[in-house]
Chain A
Amino acid sequence: MATTTARSNAPMKVCRPLESLLFSLIYGIVVFGLVAVFTASFPDAIKPSPDGLAGDSFHYLRLQAGYALLGFVVMFGISTIRPDAIRRASPFILLAALVLTGLTLTGSSIVRYSHGSPRWLQLGPFRVQPSEFAKLALIIYIAAKLAEGRLNSANFGRIGLKVMAVTIVLCTILLLQRDLGMVMLILLIVLAMAYLGHLRGRWLAVVATSALGMAAIGILSEEYRVKRILAFFDPLKYRTEWGWQILTMKTAIARGGLGGVGIGRCPEKFNYLPEAHTDAIFCVVASEMGLLGALALLVLIGAIVVRIMQIADQSPDNAGYFMVSGIAIMLAAQALINIGVATHMLPVTGLTLPFISYGGSSLVTCLAGIGVVMSVYRHSPPTRRR
């Protein structure tokens, strides 16, 4: 091969292949997710439709497999693009994502509602959740800005202000969507990225405090959020309403024991566990595969995040480093919050578990993020194995 000669001097003309370890891990977790989606979704899928037809138990599995295929194509496609091109396109990507997300607030005919909140857009046959894409677009944009220099007062107008502005715009849209969970996730990601971008400790504290204040205002502004918080502290007292979800999730997990009740056998998913195949899918996994299965999933997610961070370290430029780190932070934060909710360590929020939960937008976004990671890897110079 041509690249074997003059490895360090010649500019790379042919990019490297996909990173095989990360790809294997991603492939593994997506397949794991397909199994989990099937077992968690069939009780919902077999429900008869309003016209009396029997449901198709493979309904969600088939869709999710399609999304996975699409996601892998997107991932491969993005991985061929040079990180520099992604970086230059980042403002436009973010603008497009913000417009799409903003469209949900217009009340147009393509807007679809979830529990009364406008979160979806019907684009042809696909129903997409633009906030998922906006989250990734924001990470890439912020990474591109952070690459230009450290986040200090000298660079405030050039970097800090822009980061703040886009974050506030996106968060405002999401708050109007009444998606406080996503807002908290995005604030957490931005905070962690700002920390990586050398934001000074006192400013970090200011940002964190104001994020918490925003969260407090957001919670107090809606009665159901207050009840969720109250139920978090005493689920038994509120077991007939908000505490019920928490107790059902914990019961399902407890049922798993060490080895699990067996795939397909968690009784709670039959109409007891709300959102069994999306937000609460970890409970079904822990119930059916037990502590061992749940820990295996934790290890898998941990390995993916660690591998992504290693790739970030290998990046030749700052933009690649921040983009890849941001994606690692996104995956880790989202997984930790989702599992924290499932195990009653955090109040209930509606966040998906990356790669596992059912949902096209979530899966495609995660795989697109992996595509960005792969792009950085493929276009960075090969490192010598020590």
Chain B
Amino acid sequence: MHTRAYPHHSYPPQVESEETYKPQRRRALLLRRLALVALTLIALRLGEIQLARSKYYLHYIAPQVTAQPRTAKAVPGSILARDGTVLAQSIYSYTLVANPVRMAEKKEPVAGVAHQLAQIINKDETVIRAALEARRSKEYVVLQQWLEADQVPAIREADVCGISLDSSYKRHYPNGTLACHLLGARNQFHIPLCGLEHRYRLLLDGKPSAVASITDSAGSPTLGRDDTVLPAVAGFDLMLTLDLGLQRYVEARIDALCEREAPRSASALVMKASTGEILAICSRPEFDSNMLASGADADKAARKAFKQEHTCNAVVEKNFAPGSTFKILLAAAALEAGIDPARQFFCPGHYDAGGQPISCWGRYRTQGHGYVNMERMVAMSCNIAAANIALDLGPHRYTAFLREAGIGTPSRAGFPGETAGFLADPETLSKRDLAVMGFGQRVSTSALQLTAAVAAIANGGVKMHPHIIAAVLNKDGTIFRRPNLPEPVPVCSEETAKAVLRMMEAAVDYGTARTAAIEGVPVAAKTGTGQIWNPRTRTFYAGRYLTSFLLICPADNPEFVVYVAAVEPQVGEHGADVAGPTARDIASFALRQVVNP
């Protein structure tokens, strides 16, 4: 038998009288503690909202639930060529936007809306309908950009729920890709991305309007506002030194060069020797600024494929070993240091300066140039003679001259991202380093630095500061400011400059730069064929060259300095046959067409 110790049913509860019944304090205490826990939780929550995450609520949530200050947009500035032609400008435009979520809420029939809009914006009804139906869950669908003036009131009159107009400035580049690396680009929200657009965004963008408010002594705004509206300030126009006709021609010639030689990249620069103004600047491959600014669906694939390196303005941002064109600066430095230009150096084709032997170029590697003076060194581009002159000059005098000429420091010509290049400390240079520096290795410059230094020699030894900005203009066309250019720097004496120009003329007469000859005009030029350094193997690539060409014309009264470079051309190999004809064409165009302002 299985018995329980206690009966399973409960005893009848004891009936209490009101006097004997005393409620337990324990339960009241528990309730009090629960309330205390809830209070603590609330206090912690307040700390979270008001201290820890207040930025999130004020900067992310607040704009979505409360109105933001209304400001009038400022009229953005344009970028102009030196003759006032517009290179980049902003257009006030309307965009037709749909909110399919709201349309669904308000039960707007998609088909009817599409039909109505199609008549206004002259677009296929089925396209609009497809766009709306494909993005049913989106709140922002762009139906049409750049609405025409007469379409805007029609859309306002239609008054369809969920259809609205966005007004904004859109950047437009009337010349397409012309000078794209120089100008840079803006995106569809008018935000500057690169180039001069980005560098001068504060000048170009102006200021939106604002309302002045009265503040208390602690600086926080009081409830009352005075009604002073600070009006929007229009942006300034930027006038460049760029010559539109020359720029167009240069781009066409560089395109032809690219067609012919299929180089990895190519660039060109034309500078006015007497002022330092940059008349044309061009790099390839190019990009389409309008594609970035449009934000249109059609360009989506192109925008996705677009990479930032496409916007690199190679002329000022990239540095490279300049190669033989550097012999111009070597000759000037040597003459300035008093080395006799008639002194003869013997070139057997190679030279041992310690380490790997230095050799001359092409067939002269084996047969040598024989006895070479300074003129023939420039004209025939003899590496051995250049190495000997550099060794005679010594590291200190040579690097001091180069530094004076602007090698090793950014040009500060007004571009964003200018490279400083590389100029070694003379104390660290070995004999071989100094020898190869004679013909432009173990030194690195941008095309702009090199051209500006050579322009100094063309300008009688006085280096004019290179610059791209001609003036900053008010909206009415009056000049607001001119660039505050540094004083011209004397680099070498006028005699030295003239002598070096003669050596460069000799290169055109009987030397390596014969392709640069222009009939009836004396031309001074120098070729360059630099090897390309492979940083991974720490050697030069075999068979990859940077071909360049520097040209000064007319040689008797220099006006233009033209620099053309092509990296890794597939057909030619030397500066003379790859870049030379292009530089000559550009120079002759400049002589014929560019009218001095």
A residues near B (Cβ < 8 Å) are: 146-150, 152-154, 192, 195-198, 236, 239, 244, 247-248, 250-251, 253-258, 261-262, 264-265, 267-268, 272, 286, 290-291, 294-295, 298, 302, 305-306, 309, 312-313, 318, 321-322, 325, 329, 332, 336, 339-340, 343-345
Interface string of B31-74 (1 = CB under 8 A from A): 11001101101110111011101101110011011100000000
Q: Which of B18, B22, B54, B64 contacts A247 (CB 8 A)?
A: B64
Distance in Å: Cβ of A45 to nearest Cβ of chain B: 15
Q: List 15 A-B residue pairs with CB atoms under 8 Å apart, sorted by A's residue number.
A: A196-B27, A196-B31, A239-B65, A248-B65, A250-B61, A254-B58, A291-B46, A294-B50, A305-B35, A306-B32, A318-B22, A321-B23, A336-B35, A340-B38, A340-B42
Q: Given the known A-B contacts A149-B18, A251-B58, A336-B35, are A257 and B46 also in contact in the complex, defined by CB atoms under 8 Å?
A: no
A140 to B222, CA, bound (A): 48
A322 to B28, CA, bound (A): 10
Check B16–A195 contact: CB distance below 8 A: no
Q: Which of A146, A262, A291 contacts B50 (CB 8 A)?
A: A291
A329 to B38, CA, bound (A): 13
Check A196–B23 contact: CB distance below 8 A: yes
Distance in Å: Cβ of A176 to nearest Cβ of chain B: 30
Chain A contacts for B61, CB-based, 8 A: 236, 247, 250-251, 254
Q: Given the known A-B contacts A247-B64, A272-B66, are A257 and B21 also in contact in the complex, defined by CB atoms under 8 Å?
A: no
Distance in Å: Cβ of A247 to nearest Cβ of chain B: 5
Chain A contacts for B62, CB-based, 8 A: 251, 254-255
A106 to B46, CA, bound (A): 43
Chain A contacts for B16, CB-based, 8 A: 149-150
Distance in Å: Cβ of B107 to nearest Cβ of chain A: 16
Distance in Å: Cβ of A255 to nearest Cβ of chain B: 6
Check A251–B42 contact: CB distance below 8 A: no
Check B47–A291 contact: CB distance below 8 A: yes
Instruction: Tell yes or no: B223 within 8 A of A by CB.
Output: yes
**Extra inter-chain contacts (16) besides given A153-B13, A343-B49, CB under 8 Å:** A146-B23, A149-B18, A196-B28, A197-B23, A198-B24, A247-B64, A251-B58, A254-B50, A265-B222, A291-B46, A294-B50, A295-B43, A322-B23, A336-B42, A343-B46, A344-B45
Q: Which of A195, A244, A286, A332 contacts B65 (CB 8 A)?
A: A244
A268 to B57, CA, bound (A): 13
Residues B307-343 near A (CB distance < 8 A)? none
Distance in Å: Cβ of A16 to nearest Cβ of chain B: 23
Check A257–B64 contact: CB distance below 8 A: no
Chain A contacts for B27, CB-based, 8 A: 195-196, 198
Check A332–B35 contact: CB distance below 8 A: yes
Q: Which of B24, B31, B56 contacts A329 (CB 8 A)?
A: B31
Identity of the chain B residue whose Cβ is nearest the Cβ of A287 in the assembled complex: B50
Check A154–B15 contact: CB distance below 8 A: yes
Chain B contacts for A345, CB-based, 8 A: 41-42, 45
Instruction: Tell yes or no: B122 within 8 A of A by CB.
Output: no
Check B25–A258 contact: CB distance below 8 A: no
Q: Which 6 A-B pairs give the minimum distances between C-beta atoms?
A: A254-B57, A254-B54, A154-B13, A291-B50, A343-B45, A247-B65
Instruction: Tell yes or no: B12 within 8 A of A by CB.
Output: yes
A220 to B571, CA, bound (A): 79
Identity of the chain B residue whose Cβ is nearest the Cβ of A345 in the assembled complex: B45
A251 to B15, CA, bound (A): 57
Identity of the chain A residue whose Cβ is nearest the Cβ of B60 in the assembled complex: A236
Q: Given the known A-B contacts A154-B12, A154-B15, are A318 and B23 also in contact in the complex, defined by CB atoms under 8 Å?
A: yes
Identity of the chain A residue whose Cβ is nearest the Cβ of B55 in the assembled complex: A254
A267 to B451, CA, bound (A): 60
Check A251–B50 contact: CB distance below 8 A: no
Check B28–A250 contact: CB distance below 8 A: no
A300 to B43, CA, bound (A): 13
A336 to B15, CA, bound (A): 37
Interface string of B4-22 (1 = CB under 8 A from A): 0000000011011010011
B residues near A (Cβ < 8 Å) are: 12-13, 15-16, 18, 21-25, 27-28, 31-32, 35-36, 38-39, 41-43, 45-47, 49-51, 53-54, 56-58, 61-62, 64-66, 220, 222-223
A298 to B47, CA, bound (A): 13
A257 to B51, CA, bound (A): 6
Identity of the chain B residue whose Cβ is nearest the Cβ of A148 in the assembled complex: B18
Check A239–B64 contact: CB distance below 8 A: yes
Q: Which of A152, A262, A312, A339 contacts B28 (CB 8 A)?
A: A312
Chain A contacts for B66, CB-based, 8 A: 248, 251, 267-268, 272
Task: Please indicate which of the listed interface residues B47, B57, B220 has the most CB atoms of chain A within 10 Å of its own CB.
Answer: B57
Chain A contacts for B42, CB-based, 8 A: 298, 336, 339-340, 343, 345
Check B50–A258 contact: CB distance below 8 A: yes
Q: Given the known A-B contacts A250-B57, A268-B66, A336-B35, are A258 and B12 also in contact in the complex, defined by CB atoms under 8 Å?
A: no
Chain A contacts for B35, CB-based, 8 A: 302, 305, 332, 336
Check B39–A336 contact: CB distance below 8 A: yes
Check B23–A257 contact: CB distance below 8 A: no
Check B50–A195 contact: CB distance below 8 A: no
Chain B contacts for A265, CB-based, 8 A: 220, 222-223
Q: Which of A295, A309, A336, A340 contacts B32 (CB 8 A)?
A: A309
A51 to B433, CA, bound (A): 93
Q: Which of B46, B53, B64, B223 contacts A294 (CB 8 A)?
A: B46
Check B38–A336 contact: CB distance below 8 A: yes
A154 to B12, CA, bound (A): 8
Q: Given the known A-B contacts A149-B21, A267-B66, are A325 and B28 also in contact in the complex, defined by CB atoms under 8 Å?
A: yes
Check B13–A152 contact: CB distance below 8 A: yes
A309 to B35, CA, bound (A): 12
A196 to B28, CA, bound (A): 6
Chain B contacts for A262, CB-based, 8 A: 220
Chain B contacts for A332, CB-based, 8 A: 35
Task: Please indicate which of the listed interface residues A197, A239, A313, A343 has the most CB atoms of chain B within 10 Å of its own CB.
Answer: A343
Q: Given the known A-B contacts A149-B18, A257-B51, A272-B65, are A251 and B31 also in contact in the complex, defined by CB atoms under 8 Å?
A: no
A345 to B25, CA, bound (A): 30
Distance in Å: Cβ of B177 to nearest Cβ of chain A: 42
Check B43–A298 contact: CB distance below 8 A: yes
Chain B contacts for A267, CB-based, 8 A: 66
Check B46–A150 contact: CB distance below 8 A: no
A247 to B21, CA, bound (A): 50
A294 to B46, CA, bound (A): 8
Distance in Å: Cβ of A100 to nearest Cβ of chain B: 30
Q: Given the known A-B contacts A196-B28, A239-B65, A251-B57, are A256 and B220 also in contact in the complex, defined by CB atoms under 8 Å?
A: no
Check B49–A250 contact: CB distance below 8 A: yes
Distance in Å: Cβ of A127 to nearest Cβ of chain B: 30
Chain B contacts for A290, CB-based, 8 A: 50
Identity of the chain A residue whose Cβ is nearest the Cβ of B66 in the assembled complex: A272
Chain A contacts for B43, CB-based, 8 A: 295, 298
A154 to B17, CA, bound (A): 12
Chain B contacts for A244, CB-based, 8 A: 65
Chain A contacts for B47, CB-based, 8 A: 291
A257 to B57, CA, bound (A): 11
Chain B contacts for A239, CB-based, 8 A: 64-65
A244 to B27, CA, bound (A): 40
Check A257–B50 contact: CB distance below 8 A: yes
Distance in Å: Cβ of B5 to nearest Cβ of chain A: 23
Identity of the chain B residue whose Cβ is nearest the Cβ of A265 in the assembled complex: B223
Distance in Å: Cβ of A336 to nearest Cβ of chain B: 5
Check B65–A251 contact: CB distance below 8 A: yes
A197 to B28, CA, bound (A): 10
A195 to B13, CA, bound (A): 18
Chain B contacts for A322, CB-based, 8 A: 23
A148 to B32, CA, bound (A): 23
Distance in Å: Cβ of A308 to nearest Cβ of chain B: 11
Q: Which of B39, B58, B64 contacts A298 (CB 8 A)?
A: B39
Identity of the chain A residue whose Cβ is nearest the Cβ of B56 in the assembled complex: A254
Chain A contacts for B31, CB-based, 8 A: 192, 195-196, 329
Task: Please indicate which of the listed interface residues B21, B41, B43, B50 has the most CB atoms of chain A within 10 Å of its own CB.
Answer: B50
Distance in Å: Cβ of B225 to nearest Cβ of chain A: 12
Chain A contacts for B223, CB-based, 8 A: 264-265
